[in-house]
């Protein structure tokens, strides 16, 4: 004879759903999410090449809004002039940048949602005074990044 109370049965039925919800919430908080704005036709980004990119960095707020960090390579986002940024995945970059761009292709423009612990973590960056670059500690980051091409082949691209 099964003698469990209705409460207990309901709890046991729902437990797997609670568990999967917790796992999903945890991985959303920890993983870098790449949200494609415009697909790239080039080869996938890899760790052995150096790439030129356009980047605008925002702070991603918990309510889904974004705050400019004061850093952009794009004149249209406040830079003095367009000044592409060169990088090699895994070299002198925050973990979230490397993880995110390795899921992109040349020519692609995407939003990279980077949780704080794969960004600058508890460290603040820049200065809150003077209206320049500033990222408060424990900020989630949002990169609007476009992979222009491999460095050296930049002239063949569309810029």
Ligand X SMILES: *[C@@H]1O[C@H](CO)[C@@H](O)[C@H](O)[C@H]1NC(C)=O
Residues that bind ligand X (CB under 6 A): 43, 46, 48-49, 150
Nearer to ligand X, 114 or 150 (CB): 150
* Nearer of residues 8 and 50 to ligand X, judged by Cβ: 50
Smallest distance from the beta carbon of 101 to ligand X, in angstroms? 12
Question: In this structure, are residues 156 and 119 in contact, taking their beta carbons and an 8 Å threshold?
Answer: no
CB of 35 to ligand X, least distance (A): 23
Q: How far is the CB of 39 from ligand X (least distance, A)?
A: 16
Minimum CB distance to ligand X smaller for 57 or for 150: 150
In what helix (H) or strand (E) does residue 40 lie, and over which residues does it extend?
A: none
- Compute the distance between CA of residue 94 and CA of residue 129 in angstroms, rounded to an integer: 24
Q: Is the Cβ of residue 31 or residue 151 nearer to ligand X in the bound state? A: 151
* Residues 6 or more apart in contact with residue 30 via CB below 8 angstroms: 115, 117, 118
């Amino acid at each position: 004879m099964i003698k469990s109370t209705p409460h207990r049965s309901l709890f046991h039925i729902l437990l797997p759903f609670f568990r999967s919800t917790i796992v999903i919430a945890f991985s959303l908080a920890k993983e870098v999410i790449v949200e494609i704005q415009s697909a790239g036709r080039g080869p996938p980004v890899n760790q052995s090449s150096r790439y030129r990119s356009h980047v605008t960095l925002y702070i991603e707020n918990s309510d889904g809004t974004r705050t400019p960090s004061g850093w952009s390579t794009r004149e249209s986002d406040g830079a003095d002039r367009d000044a592409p940024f060169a990088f090699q995945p895994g070299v002198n970059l925050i973990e979230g940048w490397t993880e995110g761009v390795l899921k992109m292709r040349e020519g692609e423009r995407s939003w990279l949602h980077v949780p704080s612990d794969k960004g600058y973590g508890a460290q603040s960056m820049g200065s809150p005074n003077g209206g320049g670059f500033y990222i408060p500690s424990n900020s989630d980051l949002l990169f609007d990044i476009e992979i222009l091409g491999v460095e050296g082949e930049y002239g063949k691209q569309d810029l």
